[in-house]
């Protein structure tokens, strides 16, 4: 539970990351991942 509370405090709605921000020295790699959303079966 402590980890959850700590991560909630790190959340920034303006950040492209879910938790935290990109800091100096961080390496961000862009990867080409296919979307599987279009392959899901639709119920309606």
Mean residue pLDDT of the chain comes to 83
CA pair distance 35, 26, nearest whole angstrom = 26
Cα dihedral value 23, 26, 32, 34, nearest 10: -60
Per-residue pLDDT, averaged over 33-41, amounts to: 74
DSSP 8-state assignment for residue 41: P
- CA nearest to 20, candidates 29, 28, 11, 9: 11
Percent of the chain with pLDDT over 70: 84
**Is the pLDDT confidence value at 25 over 90?**
yes
39 pLDDT more than 70 = no
pLDDT at position 21, please? 84
Whether the model pTM is above 0.85: no
């Amino acid at each position: 539970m402590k980890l959850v509370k700590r991560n909630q405090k790190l959340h920034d709605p303006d950040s492209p990351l879910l938790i935290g921000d990109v800091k100096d020295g961080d390496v961000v790699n862009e990867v080409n991942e296919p979307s599987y959303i279009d392959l899901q079966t639709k119920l309606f």
